[in-house]
């Protein structure tokens, strides 16, 4: 079954680029695309319509050059890909020469000509194929379902029926309507914020920042019990916060940490699950957050820096629970450390040798906190990377390395830009047909007046809609359906969006279609199913925290100081209870009853009910006291 699922849902293979002149031309084109975006956004300030077309068409070309049409790796550039590249170039040129049509159709809607219909069909087919290659088939199928639903609207049963659109009207609303459809908010975010932060992140990676972070984590936690697992957790959080993609994060850190975890005694499936859960969580760690943070800021009208700051608290609890679980597992397995908890000399030496590489990140954060627009902040931060790296000979990047970073950042964007374009169709489909309102109505009826049922139904909807779908698209689908219900129930808009953000990202490791588990299984050499279900267990707080948002918006700093402190304290105890209950360890091995009591205590800390919360703390304290008493008996320790 995993082989069949993997064959269907795994994206096409990255092409081994041909050697010689072809390779150099592709490399030069990718570097040119990156430089165009930096100039267009930082110096020229290109018009939005022109820039969107340039962004999409150039990324399509790079996708067909960089990804083969099948899952088999190939260094050849077949004739079909050359045709697709030329088609992308032609359709891009056509839309660039017809930009006035976008503006005119915003005021006067006229029938599409035969050439305009053909151009729209060709562009959509190119985006579909590019998405299939870079991401896989599921998302393409979902968009096709949206297209079909718009067309057969009058024939849908019951409450799902809608007036529908003709084929030409669908093309009109999704391709030729200015600033919506494929040219909507998601693509605009890809063409501005996301691409610049990808460039910044890749330059930081090539400067050696990822290695520095791993080295620092190794010096701090490497000698502790289960050190490599803790390095995987903390390293993935920090590296992923800059690289902005769970798959990239897994490949960067997982190739180093998974073998080390296996070597010291963690089972292969557990090692893969730790990396999968840690890398997936990086999508909720600022500043990049897989690019979703920029879309969230646009949709909610909230400053980017505020969302970034609010994301820190729940991300801290997520990784705290993960750290506790890997620690408890190391105790159960009898894994010991070297006894050197923190090697201060090594930390100091690393900071002396390569600590200057942190300066660009500090510059970016300071500019954001100072109120600079994110595009301006990152434009200023990008050139500081090679400049700062040049301060020492050992970290100097050189022109070749800089161009390699620019080229690779564009190839990574091939996994994002086509998705963003098709995600705009989701917005059109949900709003224009009323399907979003219908789905929301069904969830609302099922939940009734129960906040708990609303959270559970909303969470399930997010996971189902996010299955096999990239996080940006999953977030958009779920937030358009679930968020209005939560806002209607009286929750702040940001709480509803954070709820959708968490569940949309966690679908990445939730079987049966869990891309995170697929990648981790390949590195760890373990069962996909065991990795997937273990990763879900390790990421349990990620599933619980959004429910806490619903009951305690104060966890996102909405409310009085007393409510905020109460929410933070309750969440801290909740993390300890759940980590202990799931791993079966506190001060010693827990029996079934103790694990059940701790799990109940953790769940009881979700609602802000003083009596229930006090009861939960008492229950957890009794288990702790029983553990303290049991430690006096040496036979209670695992052999």
> Which of 135, 153, 171 is at the close of a domain?
135
Q: Is residue 498 part of a domain?
A: no
DSSP 19: S
Looking at residue 636, its pLDDT comes to 47
Domain count, the chain: 2
In whole angstroms, what separates CA 186 from the centre of its chain? 14
Q: Is the pLDDT of residue 435 over 60?
A: yes
Name the maximum alpha-carbon separation found in the chain: 85
Residues 222-243: what's their mean pLDDT?
75
pLDDT per residue over 563-622, tens digit each?
999 999 999 999 999 999 999 898 888 899 999 999 999 999 999 999 999 999 999 999
Q: Helix (H, G, I), strand (E, B), or coil: what is residue 585?
A: strand
Q: Given its phi and psi angles, is residue 244 left (phi above 0), alpha (psi -120 to 50 degrees) or beta?
A: left
Q: What's the CA angle centered on 486, arms 276 and 416, to 5 degrees?
A: 40
Domain presence at residue 484: no
Q: Which residues pair with 14 in a beta bridge?
A: 67
The residue out of 135, 163, 197 marking a domain boundary is 135
Residues 101-108 have a mean pLDDT of 72
In tens, the pLDDT along 442-487 reads: 777 777 777 788 888 878 777 776 666 677 777 887 787 788 888 8
Looking at residue 34, what is its pLDDT?
A: 93
3-state SS, 500-518, equals HHHHHHHHHHCCCCCHHHH
Is residue 302 in a domain?
A: no
Per-chain mean pLDDT for the chain: 82
Residue 288 CB coordination number (10 Å): 25
- pLDDT at position 393: 85
Q: Is 126 a residue whose pLDDT tops 90? A: yes
Q: What is the pLDDT of residue 486?
A: 84
149-179 pLDDT, tens digit per residue, is 888 888 888 777 778 788 898 898 888 887 7
Percent of the chain with pLDDT over 70: 89
Q: Is it the case that residue 1 has pLDDT exceeding 50?
A: no
Residue 244: per-residue pLDDT: 57
> pLDDT value at position 37?
94
Query: What residues does 67 pair with on adjacent strands?
Result: 14
- The two tokens of residue 636 are 């209670």
637: pLDDT confidence band, cut at 50, 70 and 90? very low
Q: Is position 125 within any domain?
A: yes
pLDDT at 580: 93
Last residue of a domain, one of 81, 102, 135: 135
Q: What angle do CA 489, 495, 501 make, to 5 degrees?
A: 120
Q: Per the structure block, which two tokens stand in for 377?
A: 């902040």
d(CA 54, CA 44): 14
Q: Is residue 146 part of a domain?
A: no
3-state secondary structure of 589: strand
In this prediction, residue 46 has a pLDDT band, given cuts at 50, 70 and 90, of confident
Nearest to 406 by CA among 17, 27, 28, 34: 34
- The pLDDT assigned to 639 comes to 41
Within-domain flag for 458: no
Domain range for 51 is 2-135
**Distance separating alpha carbons of residues 462 and 451, to the nearest angstrom:** 16
- Does residue 590 belong to any structural domain of this protein? yes
Residue 182, pLDDT > 60, answer: yes
Q: Residue 191 pLDDT more than 50?
A: yes
Residue 610 is assigned to a structural domain of this protein: yes
């Amino acid at each position: 079954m995993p082989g069949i699922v993997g064959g269907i849902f795994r994206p096409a293979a990255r092409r081994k680029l041909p050697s010689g002149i072809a390779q150099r031309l592709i490399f030069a084109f990718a570097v040119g695309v990156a430089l165009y975006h930096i100039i267009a956004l930082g110096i020229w300030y290109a018009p939005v319509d022109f820039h969107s077309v340039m962004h999409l068409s150039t990324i399509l070309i790079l996708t067909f050059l960089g990804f083969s049409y099948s899952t088999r790796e190939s260094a050849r550039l077949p004739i079909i890909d050359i045709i697709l590249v030329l088609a992308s170039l032609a359709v891009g040129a056509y839309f660039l020469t017809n930009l006035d049509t976008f503006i005119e159709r915003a005021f006067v809607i006229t029938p599409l000509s035969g050439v305009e219909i053909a151009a729209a069909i060709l562009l959509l087919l190119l985006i579909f194929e590019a998405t299939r290659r870079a991401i896989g088939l599921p998302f393409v199928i979902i968009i096709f379902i949206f297209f079909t639903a718009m067309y057969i609207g009058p024939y849908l049963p019951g409450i799902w029926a809608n007036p529908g659109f003709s084929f030409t009207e669908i093309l009109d609303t999704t391709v030729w309507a200015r600033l919506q459809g494929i040219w909507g908010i998601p693509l605009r975010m890809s063409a501005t914020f996301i691409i610049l932060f990808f460039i910044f992140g890749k330059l930081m990676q090539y400067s050696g920042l990822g290695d520095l972070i791993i080295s620092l984590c190794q010096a701090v936690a490497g000698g502790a019990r289960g050190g490599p697992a803790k390095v995987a957790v903390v390293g993935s959080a920090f590296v992923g916060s800059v690289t902005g993609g769970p798959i990239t994060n897994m490949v960067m850190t997982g190739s180093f940490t998974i073998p080390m975890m296996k070597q010291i005694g963690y089972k292969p499936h557990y090692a893969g699950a730790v990396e999968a859960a840690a890398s997936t969580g990086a999508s909720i760690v600022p500043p990049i957050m897989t690019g979703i943070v920029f879309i969230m800021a646009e949709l909610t009208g909230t400053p980017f820096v505020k969302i970034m700051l609010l994301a820190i608290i729940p991300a801290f609890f997520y990784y705290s629970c993960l750290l506790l679980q890997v620690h408890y597992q190391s105790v159960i397995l009898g894994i010991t450390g070297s006894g050197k908890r923190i090697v201060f000399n090594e930390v100091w030496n690393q900071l002396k040798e390569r600590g200057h590489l942190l300066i660009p990140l500090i510059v970016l954060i300071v500019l954001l906190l100072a109120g600079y627009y994110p595009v301006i902040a990152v434009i200023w931060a990008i050139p500081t990377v090679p400049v700062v790296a040049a301060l020492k000979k050992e970290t100097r990047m050189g022109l070749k390395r800089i161009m390699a970073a620019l080229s690779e950042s564009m190839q990574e964007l091939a996994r994002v830009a086509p998705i963003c374009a098709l995600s705009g169709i989701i917005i059109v489909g949900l709003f224009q047909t009323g399907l979003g309102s219908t789905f929301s109505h069904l969830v609302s009826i099922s939940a009734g007046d129960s906040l708990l049922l609303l959270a559970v139904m909303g969470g399930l909807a997010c996971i189902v809609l996010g299955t096999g779908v990239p996080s940006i698209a999953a977030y958009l689908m779920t937030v358009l359906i679930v968020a209005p219900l939560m806002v209607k129930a009286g929750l702040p808009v940001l709480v509803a969006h954070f709820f959708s953000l968490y569940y949309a990202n966690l679908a990445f490791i939730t079987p049966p279609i869990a891309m995170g588990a697929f990648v981790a299984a390949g590195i760890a050499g373990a069962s996909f199913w065991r990795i997937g279900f273990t990763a879900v267990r390790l990421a349990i707080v990620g599933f619980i925290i959004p429910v806490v948002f619903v009951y305690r918006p104060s966890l996102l700093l909405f409310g009085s100081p007393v409510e905020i402190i109460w929410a933070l304290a309750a969440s801290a105890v909740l993390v300890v209870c759940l980590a202990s209950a799931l791993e079966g360890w506190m001060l010693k091995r827990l029996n079934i009853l103790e694990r059940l009591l701790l799990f109940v205590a953790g769940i009881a800390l979700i609602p802000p009910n003083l009596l229930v919360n006090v009861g939960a703390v008492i229950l957890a304290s009794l288990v702790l006291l029983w553990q303290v008493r049991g430690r006096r008996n040496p036979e209670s320790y695992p052999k």
